[in-house]
Structure 1
Amino acid sequence: MNTSAVLLDAFGRIQEVVHEAAEGLADDVLSTRPDGKGNSIAWLVWHLTRIQDDHLAGAGGYEQVITADGWHDRLGLPFDPSDTGYGHTPEDVAAVKVSAELLIGYYDAVHARSLEYLKTLADDDLERVVDKHWDPPVTLGVRLNSVLSDDLQHAGQAAYVRGLLG
């Protein structure tokens, strides 16, 4: 198995969990916050999608799907297109109200674009520095692991919330 194949498999696992967590849910269930304070399924899936869109587009040098494909307007959320959810307040979390169709549609569009990029990668690409704002600078391999970790955690949280809500 080569680098590209490993990454395609890993990102494919995220897609499976996202679909299992969000498919078939009514809008009000997607936006329900456990105990009225926790992160909703809608926010968790939107946030993990934004992180993947932002970070892979930055590393790959392409425009984010949220703007390139009009998802910012379709989702109709009150955030700047560059907002990834990092540092969101409880009020911001509560503002994420979208249908399962839109939420999964945006995720699948980002996933498809991510796969296009990941298919181009070779082992040597993982050593390329993609972010010099950190010490040590962040390589593509580290960035991809970060996205995978973040996305899998949030997808798992969304699945857990779905279980809590019955």
Structure 2
Amino acid sequence: MDHSALLTDAFDRIQETVHSVLADLPADGLTFRVDANANTIAWLVWHLTRVQDDHVAGVAGTEQVWTSGGWVERFGLPFPVAAIGYGHSADEVARVQSGAGLLREYHDAVHDRTVDYVQSIGADGLDRIVDENWDPPVTLGVRLVSVVSDDLQHAGQAAFVRGIYERR
């Protein structure tokens, strides 16, 4: 398996988990909170998709799907355009009130852009330095693995919240 196929498989697994979490989930499931400070499924899916969109666009040198595809307007969230959810308070988490269809469509658009990008990377491209603010500097390969790791963790959290929601 080559690196492009491996990365595509990883991002496909994130998409499969997102689809599974959102499938047939009622609106109150999207905003269910385990406690007053917990993240909701809507916020988790929005956030993991925003992180992927932001980070992949950054290394690809492209505009984010969030802005280029009109998603920022479709979601209508009360955050700055560049917000990805990092450091959001419990009140900000609660402000992500989106339907499952919108979340899935945005995620799919970001997934498609991500897969197109990872399939365009040559083997030597993964060693390209993309962030010199760290010691050691971050390579493209490390950045993409970081996105996969973060997204899988949040997708798993969303699946966990759905499980609690369904058992209550």
Normalised by the length of structure 1, the TM-score is 0.97
Aligned pairs for 1:78-157 (under 5 A) are 78-157=78-157
CA distance in 2, matches of 1:151, 1:111: 12
Structure 2: stretches of 5+ with no match in the other structure: none
Post-superposition CA distance 1:51-103 (Å, at most 9, x none): 00000000001100000000000011111121111111111111111000101
Q: Displacement of 1:31 after TM fit?
A: 1.1
Aligned length: 166
Q: Which amino acid aligns with 1:78?
A: P
| Helix, strand or coil at the partner of 2:35 | helix
**How far apart in 1 are the matches of 2:26 and 2:82?**
27
Equivalent residue, structure 1, for 2:25: 25
Comparing 19-28 and 83-92, the one that deviates more? 19-28
- TM-fit CA distance, 1:122: 2.0
Separation in structure 2 between the aligned mates of residue 134 and residue 149 of structure 1, nearest angstrom: 18
CA distance in 2, matches of 1:28, 1:161: 12
Alpha-carbon distance between aligned partners in 2 of 1:97 and 1:79, rounded to the nearest angstrom: 13
- Structure 1: which 4+ aligned runs deviate by more than 3 Å? none
2: distance between equivalents of 1:80 and 1:67?
A: 12
Matched, 1:69 2:69: yes
Task: Specify the SS of the correspondent of 2:130.
Answer: strand
Contact 2:36 2:90 in 1 (8 A): no
* Sequence identity percentage: 58
In the alignment, the residues of structure 2 paired with residue 144 and residue 73 of structure 1 have an alpha-carbon distance, to the nearest angstrom, of 27
1:163 aligns with 2:163: yes
Give the deviation of 1:36 after TM superposition.
Answer: 2.5
Q: Distance in 2 between matches of 1:105 and 1:18?
A: 11
Which structure 1 residue ranges, 5 or more long, are not aligned?
A: none
Q: Distance in 1 between matches of 2:65 and 2:117?
A: 12
TM-score for both structures, normalised by structure 2:
0.96
SS in 1 for 2:47: helix
Structure 1 residue aligned with 2:6: 6
